[in-house]
Structure 1
Amino acid sequence: MNHKFRSKRKFFFLVPIVILFGLTFVVMWLWNAILPEIIYVKTITYWQAMGILVLSKILFGGFSKCGNNSYGTRKRQFINKIKNMSPEERTKFKEAWKCRFYNRNDC
């Protein structure tokens, strides 16, 4: 039974690598099939496509841990903050947000 777990662990280690190489091929194929005809750019190699993927991950996705969703964490903290407010504080908070986002002059 322990051998099955080891083989599954090796499999899950290889899955992200296979996905990376497959996605790199898709990016290269799409770039070379579409962009040279539309905007007259040069075709790219496999490694250049991988560089584009890594660069886009750095610029747009970062390198956070898998499953670490900072937006979800901030949302939970915000909801807890609202729940812990008294009714008066809550109405005051809502009015402040209305003034901030709806550009109301009566605030």
Structure 2
Amino acid sequence: MQFRRKIFARIVVVLAIVALLGWVVMSLWNWIVPSLVVDAHAIDYPRAIGLLVLCRILFGGFRGHGGCRQRGKWRQWKQWQSMTPQEREQLRNGPLPD
């Protein structure tokens, strides 16, 4: 039961964030773009959400917070933390000459 509450709470938070971001996009567009671009029109709320989704697809993707790249950095950090100071110094100085 607790798991369902957490999932429901996360869904509600995500929907609230999307709604707020849609309102921010709509407000900024209607404030800035019609005064800067000739023949630009104000947009309504559904178009602002669509613009937000389009920008997310084009520039951010849908992999979450960094995707696989973040996990790779975490592994490197854990490996660095498990090294002795001598191993760290050797890694900083590069490989030893033969």
Aligned match of 1:61? 60
1:29 aligned onto 2:58: no
Q: TM-score, normalised by structure 1?
A: 0.55
Percent of aligned positions that are identical: 36
What is the RMSD of the two structures over their aligned residues, measured on CA atoms? 3.4
What is the TM-score normalised by the length of structure 2? Answer: 0.59
Residue correspondences, number: 88
Q: CA deviation at 1:42?
A: 2.7
Query: What is the alpha-carbon distance in structure 1 between the residues aligned to residue 3 and residue 74 of structure 2?
Result: 37
Q: Amino acid of the residue matched to residue 25 of structure 1?
A: W
5+ residue gaps in structure 1? Answer: 80-107
Structure with larger RCO (C-alpha < 8 A, sep 6+): 2
Greater Cα radius of gyration, structure 1 or 2: 1
1:14 counterpart residue number: 12
CA shift at 1:21, angstroms? 1.1
The Cα of 1:36 is off from its aligned counterpart by 0.5
Match of 2:36 in 1: 38
